[in-house]
């Protein structure tokens, strides 16, 4: 099976192509392996919404849920078993990509309970627990970049555990995330961990920024405001990449760790599905091409890029000045950027909590039904 040429070009430009979806059916049917072979997929991300969708469709989980019900498993134990089994299986499917990339790719992410987003100690405890349960070196534990998440990220990394930091919306918060990564590496080094085995990505959300800011620009309604629609998400991500370059390519703190085997914490572009149909459906892929980055795409976006995506070289490096000008213009027309980022973070945590609660309710119903049949 040959690789899709558009996605292959994206990979050759330094962008690791990851799939923002996972289900047992995708694993067992061979679909995930097919995407690896034909569409350059070298990683998978999950979140509570993805698991909620997977468990609510079809009957692929029925037998396992019935078995767990017979054993007396409660709702949370059932969800933990089902989701960690899926992630472990996906880790095994991606093991060749993990080995071939020396641990950079071939990664699968699982998120801590979103209800713990504001509790650092419980986040750390669950991250350690998930790491032990899945028991695969190519796992990423996803931790949200809330205020409580920042110290949790450092502690988990310090335990030698690889982390995908999620729900990053602002460059200011991203700088704290990179600081936490370096704190974690230094703690891991002091504890005797092999830094070359500790990896991390920082998931910077893109389309949601445009959705929120465009809504505010429409409300302002002036020509200057309307002319800025669809520009904030890319500008924000490009400013984040400039911050990444400063920390991992220029500043001496990481260079010292690099000498002992540390890897840079790659920027990952998340929320790359286009929400506004007026924008090109490959916007958040084609315009965010840069070396040593990850783009995790929903399948619809992956298929769109495979069909008509174009790679025109690095579209990020050297754009910081122009991107800052976009932000200055947004402020000038009345956009309160700190408020935008706070709203987005709060909404992000809330959405995952809602999905998690729906997952709890659906699983409870499945357990009741399984108990009645037995």
Please tell me the chain's helix, strand, coil percentages from 3-state DSSP, rounded to the nearest 5. 60, 10, 30
Residues 6+ apart with CB under 8 A from 368: none
Contact indicator for 344, 204 with CB cutoff of 8 Å: no
Question: How far apart, in whole angstroms, are the C-alpha atoms of residue 42 and residue 197?
Answer: 18
Contact 209, 174 (CB under 8 A): no
Instruction: Assess whether 142 carries a catalytic annotation.
Output: yes
Straight-line distance from the first to the last Cα atom of the chain, in angstroms, rounded to the nearest whole number: 44
Rounded alpha-carbon distances, angstroms, from residue 247 to 182, 240, 250:
10, 11, 6
The secondary structure of residue 197, as a DSSP letter, is: G
Exposure string over 208-230, b if 16+ CB within 10 A, otherwise e: bbbbbbbebbeeeeeeebeebbb
From 142, 155, 189, 231, the catalytic residue? 142
Q: Which two tokens stand for residue 341?
A: 């980022």
Please check whether residue 166 is in contact with residue 143, taking contact to mean a CB–CB distance below 8 angstroms.
yes
C-alpha to C-alpha distance for 305 and 313, rounded to whole angstroms: 15
163-168 and 293-297: which strand pairing?
unpaired
Task: Give the active site residues.
Answer: 142
């Amino acid at each position: 099976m040959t690789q899709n040429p558009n996605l292959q070009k994206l990979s050759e430009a330094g962008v690791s192509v990851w799939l923002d979806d996972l289900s047992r059916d995708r694993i067992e049917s061979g679909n995930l392996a097919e995407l690896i072979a034909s569409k350059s997929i070298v990683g998978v991300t999950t979140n509570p919404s993805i698991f909620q969708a997977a468990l609510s469709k079809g009957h692929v989980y029925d037998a396992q849920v019935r078995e767990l019900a017979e054993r007396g498993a409660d709702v949370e134990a059932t969800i933990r078993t089902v989701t960690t089994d899926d992630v472990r299986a996906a880790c095994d499917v991606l093991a060749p990509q993990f080995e071939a990339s020396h641990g950079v790719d071939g990664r699968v992410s699982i998120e801590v309970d979103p209800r713990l987003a504001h509790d650092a100690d419980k986040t750390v405890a669950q991250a350690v627990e998930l790491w032990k349960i899945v028991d695969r070196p190519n796992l990423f534990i996803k931790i949200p970049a809330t205020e409580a998440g920042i110290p949790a990220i450092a502690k988990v990394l310090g335990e030698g555990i690889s982390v995908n930091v999620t729900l990053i919306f602002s460059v200011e918060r991203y700088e704290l995330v990179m600081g936490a990564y370096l704190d974690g590496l230094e703690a891991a080094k002091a504890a005797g961990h092999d830094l070359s085995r500790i990896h991390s990505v920082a998931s910077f959300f893109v389309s949601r920024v445009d959705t929120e800011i465009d809504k505010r620009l429409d409300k302002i309604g002036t020509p200057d405001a309307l002319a800025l629609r669809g520009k904030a998400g890319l500008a924000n991500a490009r400013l984040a990449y400039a911050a990444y370059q400063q920390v991992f390519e220029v500043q001496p703190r990481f260079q010292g760790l690099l000498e002992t085997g540390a890897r840079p914490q790659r920027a990952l572009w998340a929320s790359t599905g286009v929400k506004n149909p007026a924008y090109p459906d490959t916007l958040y892929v084609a315009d965010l091409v840069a070396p040593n980055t990850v783009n995790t795409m929903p399948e619809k976006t992956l298929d769109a890029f495979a069909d008509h995506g174009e790679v025109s070289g690095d579209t990020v490096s050297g754009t910081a000045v122009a991107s800052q000008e976009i932000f200055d213009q947004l402020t000038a027309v009345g956009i309160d950027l700190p408020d935008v980022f706070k709203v987005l973070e709060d909404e992000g945590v809330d959405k995952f909590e809602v999905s998690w609660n729906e997952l709890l309710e659906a699983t409870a119903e499945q357990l009741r039904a399984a108990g009645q049949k037995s």
